[in-house]
Structure 1
Amino acid sequence: MGGTCLALASTSDKGTRDMRSATSNFLNSMISSRMVAIGLIVAAPSLASAQESSEPGTTHPILAAVVIALGILTLVILWKRDTIRPGSFKRIEPAEAPPPESGLVLFAMLIGCLIVSAIAAVLVTQAQGVDPEIGRTMPEQGVFTLLVGFGGVAAGVGAMLLACRTWALDRFRFTSSGYLTGLLLGLALYPLLLSVTMVSGYVFRLLGTPPGEGIAHETLNTIVAPETGAWRWAVIAGAVVLTPIFEELLFRGLLQSAVVSIVRNRWVAVLIASALFVGPHIGPAIQPHVLPAIGGLGIAMGVAYERTGKISIPIAMHAMYNGINVGVSFLIA
C-alpha cells in the first residue's frame, strides 16, 4: 500500500476482478446545498413512461414486468456471487479498514469539505446577485454549477489526498483503474433500481399518493427545453461529473470510511452512509417514491467501495446512474 496517492493501480486485483466478473455475467445473460438542484433533478427520473400513461390507473404491464424481471435477475446474480449475503464481508476479504483513531479526523475532513462547499455557494450567489424570489437563469445556474462544483470537488480531493498521506491506505488513493468497472456496474444495476422505484410507486399509489407524471423536476424541464441553449450542458456536466465525484468522495471516501474505522462492521458502515446519502434528497422538489432507489444505489456503491477499496468505482456508478437519468429525461421530453 505504499507509494504515491495518485498511483496507477493494476486492474487485475482480486476485488476489482470479482466485481467485473459479476457485472459481465449480468450484461451477458446513481448533497450539499451547493448543488441541491442538480442532485434532486438527476436522482428523480420520471418513470411515467415505464410505469403509467397519462390516464390515471393505466399501466404498461409488459414493460414493467421486463424491468422487474431484470431487477430480480440482478439480485439473484449478486446473491450467487456472495456479494449481498449476510456475512459476505467475512468470507471475501474486503478493503483494509482505516485505524480506529482515524474516525474523528475523517469526520472533521467531511465537515470541512461541506463548509468549503457552502462558502463557495454563498460567494458565487452573492457575486451573481441572485434574487431568491426569482431564482437563477440558466446561464447563472450553469456558472454556479461549474464554479461551486469545482470548489467542492477540489476540497474533497484535497481531503482524500491528506487521508492517503496520513494512513497510506488504498481506499484513499486515486488510481486510473476501476472506472470502466463502475460504469458497467451502474448500467447493470439500473434495472434493479428502476424496478425498486416502480414498485415503490405502486405502493404510494395504493396509499393514495400516486407519483406525478412526466419529468419529475421543473428545472429538468428547463434543461431539456430546446430554447434553453448551450448553458444546459454546464448543468448536465455538473450532474453527471461533478456531483458524483463530490458526493462519493464525501459519502463513501470520508463518511463510510470514518464509520468503518469506529464500528468495525462493513454492513453497518454501508447502511449508515447510504441512509445519510438519501437525506439531502428528501424535500418537496423530489417525488418520495424514488427515495428507496436512491438508498439502493447508495448501498450498491458502498458495497463496491468496501469490496475493492477503489473510490473510482462508486464515482463511475453514480455518474452512470445520473447520466442515464438525464438521457431518459431527454427521451421523455
Structure 2
Amino acid sequence: MTETARVDDATPFGHSAVPGIGAVLSAVTLAAMAVPIQRGLEDPVVWGAAAFAVIAVLAFLGSRYSVLERRLAALAALASSVGVVLLSGYAMNQGVAASVTVPGLETSISLVFAGFVTAGLTAGVSMATFYGLTPRALKERSLETATLSIVGFGGLLAAQVATLLIAQPVFIVTDSLSRFELVLISQIGMALGMGGLAIAYIAVMDYDWSFIDLKVPTARDVAWTVGGLFVLFGALFAISMLFQTTGVESADHGTTQQAQENPEILLVLIPAAILIIGPFEELLYRNVIQKALYGTFSRYGAVVVGSVIFSIVHTQAYWTAGPGQVVASLGTIFGLSIVLGTIYERTDNLVVPALVHGVYNAILFANLYFLYG
C-alpha cells in the first residue's frame, strides 16, 4: 500500500469500515477452518490455522471499535492471516482438503483451500487497515490489482496465440514437427506475444517509450546482477531446505517433465532463457505490471503485489499436480519473484532483472540437460 494514505482516505470512516471488511473475511476464514474441526478433524495444523483466524478476527474488531491502536491491530491481523496462509497451505500439501459438497451443484470445494484464499485476501486488507485507507481506496487498489492480473494472464494467452499463428503456416509445409521444433516455435511465440502485449499496454495507457527502462548497465547494475544471482540461488536453496525439513512436496514444472522425455529441447531453452524468457517475462511482469502498480501502491507494495500476480500466472505450469503441491511451487515462485522485483525496484533498469532471470533459468536448464541428456 502507499506509504501514507491520501488526505481523503485518512478519515474516521476509513479507519473503521476497512477493519470491518477484514473482520468479515477473517470470520469466513475461521468458519472454513472450524467446520472440518466440528466434523471431527483432529489435524493440529488446521487447529492452529483456526486459532490464527480467531486472532485476526479479534484484531480487526479491536481496530474497528478503537479498542486496539489501529496499526498495532493491523500488524496482528497481518501476522495472523499469514499464519493461516502458511498452515492451510501446509495442510493441503499434506493431503488435508476437508471438502464439502456445494448445495445444488454436483461439485465439492476444499474448505482448507477456501480458508487459504480468504486469508490471503485478509492479509491485503490488514495492510489497508495499517495505512488507514477507506473502502473507496481499497476498491481502487483491488481493481488495479485485478486489471493487471488480467494483463498478466493475457501474456500467457498472447504467447499461445502467437505460437499458433506461427505454427499454422509451418504445418501447411510439413505434416509434423519435432518436439525440438515445437519448443523453438513456442519461444518465438512467447517473445512476440508477451512483447506485443507489453507494447499494446504502453500504447493504450498513452505512455511514451521512456516507460521501458532499457539502460546501459552501470558498475552498480553489474553488482546488482551478480549479487542478484547469488541471492536468487540462495533463496532457492533456503526454500528447498525448508520444504525438505518440513516434508513439503512441490510439483515439477511442465518443462522438467518434458525434458525427462525429450532432453534435446533444453538445447533450445538454455539460450532462450537469456534471449527470450528472461527479457520478455521481465518486460511484462516487472517493467509493465510492477511499474504500473507504483502509481497505486508503494514501491515495495508493488513488488509484493506484482510477485503475487507473477506467481498465480505460473499456475498453469504446475496444474497436473495436486493443489497442495501447486501451492508449494507457487510459494517458491513468489519468493524468487520478490528477489527479481526488488532488483528491478532498486535499479530501475530492465536489463538487470532480465539478465538475472535469464541466467538463472539457463543454469537450471543446463543442470537438467546434464541429468537427462
Shorter chain as normaliser: what TM range? 0.5 to 0.7
Q: Which of 294, 297, 311 matches 2:336?
A: 297
Question: What residue number does 2:361 align with?
Answer: 322
> What is the alpha-carbon distance in structure 1 between the residues aligned to residue 329 and residue 237 of structure 2?
9
1:136 CA displacement = 6.5
Number of positions where the alignment pairs a residue of Structure 1 with one of Structure 2? 216
SS at match of 1:217: helix
Q: Cα gap change, 1:114/1:219 in structure 2, threshold over 3 Å: closer, same or farther?
A: closer
> What is the alpha-carbon distance in structure 2 between the residues aligned to residue 280 and residue 313 of structure 1?
22
Question: What residue number does 1:268 align with?
Answer: 301
> What is the alpha-carbon distance in structure 1 between the residues aligned to residue 226 and residue 341 of structure 2?
16
Question: What residue number does 2:159 align with?
Answer: 117
1:276 CA displacement = 1.1
Question: What residue number does 2:287 align with?
Answer: 253
Tell whether the 8 Å contact from 2:290 to 2:306 is kept in structure 1 after alignment.
yes
Tell whether the 8 Å contact from 1:240 to 1:323 is kept in structure 2 after alignment.
yes
In terms of fraction of residues, the more helix-rich structure is 2
Q: Which of 278, 288, 309 matches 1:244?
A: 278
Structure 1 gaps of 5+ residues are 1-99
Tell whether the 8 Å contact from 1:153 to 1:245 is kept in structure 2 after alignment.
no
Q: Which of 319, 334, 345 matches 1:284?
A: 319
Q: Cα gap change, 1:271/1:155 in structure 2, threshold over 3 Å: closer, same or farther?
A: same
> What is the alpha-carbon distance in structure 1 between the residues aligned to residue 160 and residue 215 of structure 2?
28
Cα deviation 1:162-185 (Å, max 9, x = unaligned): 59993575x623112166445413
Q: Which of 174, 178, 195 matches 2:238?
A: 195
1:304 CA displacement = 1.4
Question: What residue number does 1:139 align with?
Answer: 180
Tell whether the 8 Å contact from 1:274 to 1:295 is kept in structure 2 after alignment.
yes
> What is the alpha-carbon distance in structure 2 between the residues aligned to residue 177 and residue 161 of structure 1?
23
Q: Which amino acid aligns with 1:202?
A: T
Answer with 180-189 or 265-274: which moved more.
180-189
Cα deviation 1:249-295 (Å, max 9, x = unaligned): 111111111111123x1122111110111113223357544432321
1:244 CA displacement = 1.2
> What is the alpha-carbon distance in structure 2 between the residues aligned to residue 156 and residue 180 of structure 1?
29
Q: Bigger relative contact order, structure 1 or 2, given CA contacts below 8 A and separation 6+?
A: 1
Q: Which amino acid aligns with 1:237?
A: P
Tell whether the 8 Å contact from 2:269 to 2:362 is kept in structure 1 after alignment.
no
> What is the alpha-carbon distance in structure 2 between the residues aligned to residue 168 and residue 143 of structure 1?
29
1:199 CA displacement = 1.1
Q: Which amino acid aligns with 2:303?
A: V
Question: What residue number does 1:172 align with?
Answer: 212
Structure 2 gaps of 5+ residues are 1-140
Cα deviation 1:208-230 (Å, max 9, x = unaligned): xx4579x9822122443xxx4xx
Cα deviation 1:119-138 (Å, max 9, x = unaligned): 312323444559xxxx9632
SS at match of 2:229: helix
Tell whether the 8 Å contact from 2:274 to 2:359 is kept in structure 1 after alignment.
yes
1:311 CA displacement = 1.1
Identity over the aligned pairs, expressed in percent? 20
TM-score between both structures, scaled by the size of structure 2: 0.48
> What is the alpha-carbon distance in structure 1 between the residues aligned to residue 250 and residue 160 of structure 2?
32
> What is the alpha-carbon distance in structure 2 between the residues aligned to residue 167 and residue 126 of structure 1?
34
> What is the alpha-carbon distance in structure 2 between the residues aligned to residue 321 and residue 163 of structure 1?
32
Question: Cα RMSD over matched residues?
Answer: 3.9
> What is the alpha-carbon distance in structure 1 between the residues aligned to residue 351 and residue 250 of structure 2?
33
Tell whether the 8 Å contact from 1:245 to 1:315 is kept in structure 2 after alignment.
yes
Q: Which amino acid aligns with 1:310?
A: N
1:149-228 matches, within 5 Å, as 149-152=190-193, 154-155=195-196, 158=199, 166=207, 172-177=212-217, 180-189=222-231, 190-205=233-248, 210=249, 217-224=256-263, 228=264
